[in-house]
Structure 1
Amino acid sequence: MPADMDEFWVFGYGSLMWHPGFEFEERQLAVVRGYHRALCIHSWVHRGIETAPGLVLGLERGGSCKGAAFRIHLDSRDGVVDYLRERELVTNVYLERFIPVRLPDGRRVTAITYVADRNHRQFAAGLSVDAAARIVANAEGKSGRNSDYVLNTVSHLRELGIRDQWIEDVADRMLAYSAAG
């Protein structure tokens, strides 16, 4: 963790945006370049099981991603990092990174975030909309049905004014599969 940071920021691109689980001093929509949001992680705990994994979000290389940046009081930094590591590193499928983030007012800050580890066996590379929708439609884990996770994600992204066409397409296709039985 960079020791010389006079501000501490967290970047969230999924459920962290609307359910951070920590106190913050400021939240702004923000953009990162070089990564995009994707259903690219096989979930063996929260939205599936190892023999029938679901899919959850990760940051994958390429493109850009609009998410939320949270400014954390420096006195809370260590506790927030501990919390994030417990939340995000359950199976170590994410890599903790400090990345540049652009805020709406033009400021550029460095934020901690969690990106998909392309070398981890839970990484789900290059899934089509159809393949992702079939996985999501049938998976369930200790935190509930994978389909609920995807629909909740789409709903919250829209509430924040963020459109993610690929994930919306997965949700639409998944609903079509569910309706067809």
Structure 2
Amino acid sequence: MKPQDIIAGKSSLWIFGYGSLVWKPDFKYKRSEVGYIQGYKRRFWHGDNFHRGDDESPGRVVTLIEDDSASTWGVAFEVSGSQLEDSLKYLTVRETVRGGYITKMVEFFPDGEDRSPVQALVYIATVDNPLYLGPASAEQIGAQIAVSRGKTGHNLEYLLRLAEFMRTSCPQVEDHHLFAIERAALTVVSYLLATQ
């Protein structure tokens, strides 16, 4: 799905973030809403050799894996007018060119009672992406994150900020995958600091 196809005939668009976009959108938007999408689970199964790692030591970032029984919490941003084209140009470079993500439209459910879902654009990395790393144990993923760094910063920052967002904005949600990796990464960091 190309950006021009996405915005054809639209005056506004919702963009759903479930990784770094939840704390660092870096584009102008009209408003944002915390909420969730259904049918996907968030997993640290995608490699990153630009933002949070490099070719020798790729970082691990999140993607979405289809799972009918799952839901993923994050933030949706509404962009309108000139924000529409500007945000998609920026995200095409950040998520598609440098990250290898593709786009899909999903139903986003804003948090709160009696809220109607809206269609939202989401970026997903698939198994046919060369950067896709696939499943690994929380310990393996945490160890990889603990030592990886890219042009945007340390991979650990990405993990800790995502965990902080979930605790602050979605305290009712227990993200076992995310929190297990956070514990594993912090254990590695503590060990590395103790042995220096």
Q: TM-score, normalised by structure 2?
A: 0.84
Alignment of 1:90-169 (within 5 A): 90-91=97-98, 93-104=100-111, 105-162=114-171, 163=173, 164-169=175-180
Gaps of 5+ in 1: none
CA RMSD of the aligned region, Å?
Answer: 1.8
Give the alignment partner of residue 19 of structure 2, picking from 14, 17, 42.
Answer: 14
Shift of 1:116: 1.3
Tell me, what secondary structure is at the counterpart of 1:168? helix
Q: Which residue in 2 is equivalent to 1:43?
A: 48
Shift of 1:60: 2.1
Tell me, what secondary structure is at the counterpart of 1:34? strand
Q: Does 1:57 align with 2:52?
A: no
Q: Which residue in 1 is equivalent to 2:3?
A: none
Q: Which residue in 1 is equivalent to 2:79?
A: 72
Give the alignment partner of residue 26 of structure 1, picking from 14, 19, 31.
Answer: 31
Shift of 1:132: 0.5
Structure 2 counterpart of 1:99, one-letter code: V
Do the aligned partners of 1:41 and 1:93 also contact (CA within 8 Å) in 2? no
Give the alignment partner of residue 88 of structure 2, picking from 74, 81, 85.
Answer: 81
Q: TM-score, normalised by structure 1?
A: 0.90
CA distance in structure 1 between the aligned counterparts of 2:80 and 2:108, rounded to whole angstroms: 18
Shift of 1:92: 5.1
Do the aligned partners of 1:11 and 1:112 also contact (CA within 8 Å) in 2? yes
Do the aligned partners of 1:43 and 1:122 also contact (CA within 8 Å) in 2? yes
- Percent identical among aligned pairs is 26
